[in-house]
């Protein structure tokens, strides 16, 4: 099973993000846009995991996230990794709550590394992947739209982390929640 741990978004936030993707999609660049129902903020990609390891993983995550409290984040701005001119990923950033997200990602890291999952080599970068670029030569139209993006959503409550299974399918990835870890109010 391919697994990852992420922060889910409420439907109204996904709808707003979906409108942004729809606007960017009109430029017809070679980008694999994320389906709005799949939008999430990844805390840690775990990769292939044997089914026998699942219960121990859930237990470690439950213990590791126990006592973490809910918090608020805001989404704003857009860009590309490694940069917009050579983008492999187009993203929307987190403008408020980055530190709390980094703390949550660190707790996930501490819960998973002892189980043999690799440690992250880089600092946590709070962002929401909107699309994966298939051709580095993005159109001037899309580049202009991403650079001029004024998208902003404030006050998104992060109240849980979710362990998802990711299955690759012809119509795009299918994400199935396997466990939810509620954050204290």
Query: H/E element holding 181?
Result: strand 174-182
**Per-residue confidence in pLDDT tens, the chain, 185 aa:** 999 999 999 999 999 999 999 999 999 999 999 999 999 999 999 999 999 999 999 999 999 999 999 999 999 999 999 999 899 999 999 999 999 999 999 999 999 999 999 999 889 999 999 999 998 789 999 999 999 999 999 999 999 999 999 998 888 889 999 999 999 98
Kindly list the catalytic residues: 40, 127
**For the chain, domain boundaries:** 2-182
- The model's pTM is 0.94
**Could you tell me the fold of the domain covering 2-182?**
Cyclic Phosphodiesterase; Chain: A, (3.90.1140)
Residue 171's pLDDT is 81
What is the C-alpha to C-alpha distance for residues 136 and 92, in angstroms, rounded to an integer? 18
Angle at alpha carbon of residue 11, lines to 8 and 13, rounded to 5°: 80
């Amino acid at each position: 099973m391919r697994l990852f741990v992420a922060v889910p978004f409420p439907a109204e936030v996904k709808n707003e993000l979906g409108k942004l993707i729809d606007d960017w999609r009109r430029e017809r660049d070679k980008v694999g846009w994320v389906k709005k129902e799949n939008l999430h903020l990844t805390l840690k990609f775990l990769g292939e995991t044997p089914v026998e390891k699942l219960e121990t993983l859930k237990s470690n995550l439950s213990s590791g996230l126990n006592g973490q409290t809910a918090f608020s984040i805001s989404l704003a701005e857009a860009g590309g990794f490694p940069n917009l001119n050579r983008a492999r990923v187009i993203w929307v950033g987190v403008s408020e709550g980055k530190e709390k997200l980094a703390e949550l990602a660190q707790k996930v890291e501490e819960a998973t590394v002892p189980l043999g999952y690799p440690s992250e080599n880089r600092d946590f970068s709070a962002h929401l992947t909107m699309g994966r670029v298939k051709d580095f030569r993005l159109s001037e139209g899309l580049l202009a739209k991403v650079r001029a993006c004024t998208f902003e959503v404030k006050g998104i409550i992060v109240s849980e982390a979710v362990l998802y299974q990711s299955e690759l399918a012809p119509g795009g990835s299918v994400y199935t929640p396997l466990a939810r870890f509620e954050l204290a109010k």
